[in-house]
Amino acid sequence: MDNKEDLKKVVDQALAEQKVPHVKLKKIGAQKADVDKLTQPSKETRQEYWGKGLTYSAILLIIILVASIIGFIAVHGLATFTQNHVNVWHFLSSTDWDPGEGKNHVGALAMIVTSFAVTLLAAIVATPFAISVALFMTEYSSKKGSRFLQSVIELLVGIPSVVYGFLGLSIIVPFIRSVFGGTGFGILSATLVLFVMVLPTITSLTVDALKAVPNHYRQASAALGATHWQTIYKVVLRVATPRILTAVIFGMARAFGEALAVQMVIGNAVLMPYNLVSPAATLTSQLTSQMGNTVMGTLPNNALWSLALLLLIMALFFNFLVRLIGRKGQK
């Protein structure tokens, strides 16, 4: 378009083309706005109140629910300390667990230690496997292979925990018994069961973490002549570290809170663990096996609620950790 004349020609022609006969519309033609209606509430306004109200109450219900879970368990869990005057420090530091009427022997340390032991051990064993599988799925395998592993992992997540417990009971416990002697119940069996249970959780979250690493990092690293492993180790894993940590914490949270599978293989003896193959008890296993044997409002019962409160606090703590890492990762 060099000069104005050409432009004018084009535009004139276009303007000329505008003149088309137009069809008069009968029924639907434009209607002048009803100005009154514009400032009046209508059916839609009411629908909107209704919709907002309904969805809002669903939200409120959830908030009330969570608040009352925390509230109820806190009230019952604190009764040990307020009504039965058990010293909190004693509860956390003593291994003397024999809460009977009148006996304030409510030292939960053995269970706390066992819970942390199985959780940490399971996480330590599972993490290298989980990262390997995740790396295999994102960095090595073909699409087909990774889709296959993906669906296997989803399936593993779906297997009910009692089934894991049953497998532990029928395979792992006898195996440990034959190798180490003793009953076969204990921290080692629980660790192995939890290892299989948290593996899919950690793996699938790690896969997400690795997928979130932008591809240009990999390309840049490869362009510098790094080997595949160097790229993975120095670039991919490093960038994904915060999210992998989150994945591990999620796995630990699952392990810490798992009740039935652990209860089935750990032996349920409230003893300070001195090795990995003797019967022990975790917070969850103790709750599971004893809650039905105590009477509401008595010390033995209150002591169990204190264990439940401890579980709740740990769940909140894991949650907090995840958020903390998330916030740091954003910076």
Kindly give, in sequence order, each residue whose CB lies less than 8 Å from that of residue 213, ignoring residues fewer than 6 positions away. Answer: 235, 236, 239, 240
Q: Which is nearer to another protein, 106 or 253 (CB)?
A: 253
Q: Which is nearer to another protein, 95 or 161 (CB)?
A: 161
> Whole-number minimum distance, CB 86 to another protein, in Å?
19
> Whole-number minimum distance, CB 205 to another protein, in Å?
13
CB 88 within 8 A of CB 81: yes
Sign, CA dihedral 299-312-120-259, equals: positive
Q: Find the angle CA(326)-CA(329)-CA(331) to the nearest 5 degrees.
A: 120
Query: How far from each other are the two terminal CA atoms of the chain, in whole angstroms?
Result: 51
Q: What is the CA radius of gyration of the chain?
A: 31
> Whole-number minimum distance, CB 31 to another protein, in Å?
4
Q: Which is nearer to another protein, 296 or 331 (CB)?
A: 296
Element (H, E) at 18: none
Q: Rounded to whole angstroms, how far apart are CA atoms 169 and 189?
A: 9
- In single-letter form, the type of residue at position 25 comes to L
CB 280 within 8 A of CB 110: yes
Q: Which is nearer to another protein, 23 or 223 (CB)?
A: 23
> Whole-number minimum distance, CB 165 to another protein, in Å?
7
CA atoms within 13 A on the CB side of 40: 6
> Whole-number minimum distance, CB 116 to another protein, in Å?
15
> Whole-number minimum distance, CB 318 to another protein, in Å?
6
124: left (phi over 0), alpha (psi -120 to 50) or beta: alpha
Q: Which is nearer to another protein, 179 or 315 (CB)?
A: 315
Q: Which is nearer to another protein, 82 or 93 (CB)?
A: 82
Query: How many other C-beta atoms lie within 10 A of the C-beta of residue 44?
Result: 8
Kindly give, in sequence order, each residue whose CB lies less than 8 Å from that of residue 91, ignoring residues fewer than 6 positions away. Answer: 80, 81, 106, 107, 108, 306
Q: Which is nearer to another protein, 44 or 101 (CB)?
A: 44
Of 197, 206, 39, the closest CA to residue 139 belongs to 206
> Whole-number minimum distance, CB 112 to another protein, in Å?
15
Q: Which is nearer to another protein, 98 or 154 (CB)?
A: 154
Q: What is the dihedral of CA 264, 267, 272, 276, to 10 degrees?
A: -90
> Whole-number minimum distance, CB 44 to another protein, in Å?
4
